[in-house]
Amino acid sequence: MSDLLDTVRGLAKKTDSKILMVVLDGVGGLPLTVNGDTELATARTPNLDALAQESQLGQLELVGAGITPGSGPGHLSLFGYDPLKYVVGRGALSAVGIGVKLNAGDVAVRGNFATLGAGRLITDRRAGRPTDEQNVAVVDRLRAAIPEIDGTPVEIYTESEHRFVVVFRGAGTPLGANISDVDPQVVGVVPMLAAAHDPASERTALLVNEFVARAEALLSAEPQINGVLFRGYSDVPHFPSFDDAYGLRAACIASYPMYRGLASLVGMDVLDVEGHEDALDGKVAALRDNWDRYDFFYFHVKKTDSTGEDGDFAAKVKKIELFDALLPELLALNPDVLAIVGDHSTPSKMMSHSWHPVPVLIRSEYARKDAATRYTEDEAQRGSLGLRRGTDLMPLLMANALKLNKYGA
Q: What is the pLDDT of residue 234?
A: 87
pLDDT exceeds cutoff 80 at 275: no
Q: What is the pLDDT of residues 127-138, one digit of tens each?
A: 999 998 999 999
Q: What is the pLDDT of residues 201-213, one digit of tens each?
A: 999 999 999 999 9
Q: What is the pLDDT of residue 373?
A: 95
Helix (H, G, I), strand (E, B) or coil at 282: helix
Strand partners, 351: none
E-assigned strand segments in 87-136: 107-116, 122-124
pLDDT over 70 percentage in the chain: 99
**Residue 227 CA to its chain's centroid (Å):** 24
* C-beta of residue 29 within 8 angstroms of C-beta of residue 317: no
Q: What is the pLDDT of residue 277?
A: 65
What DSSP character marks residue 83? Answer: T
Q: In CATH, what is the architecture of 94-234? A: 2-Layer Sandwich (3.30)
Assign domain 4-86+239-400 one CATH number from 3.40.50.1700, 1.10.260.40, 1.10.760.10, 3.40.720.10.
Answer: 3.40.720.10
pLDDT over 90 percentage in the chain: 81
Q: What is the pLDDT of residues 323-371, one digit of tens each?
A: 999 999 999 999 999 999 999 999 999 999 999 999 999 999 999 999 9
Length of the chain: 409
Query: Mean pLDDT throughout 297-320?
Result: 95
Q: What is the pLDDT of residue 3?
A: 74
pLDDT exceeds cutoff 90 at 280: no
Whether the domain at 4-86+239-400 and the domain at 94-234 fall into the same CATH topology: no
Q: What is the pLDDT of residues 58-95, one digit of tens each?
A: 999 999 999 999 888 999 999 999 999 888 777 888 88
Query: Mean pLDDT throughout 115-124?
Result: 95
Q: Mean pLDDT of all residues in the chain?
A: 93
Confidence class for position 172, pLDDT limits 50, 70, 90: confident
Give, for 394, the enclosing helix (H) or strand (E).
helix 393-400
Q: What is the pLDDT of residue 1?
A: 35
What DSSP character marks residue 18? Answer: -
Domains of the chain by residue range: 4-86+239-400, 94-234
From CA 172, how far away is CA 197, in angstroms rounded?
21
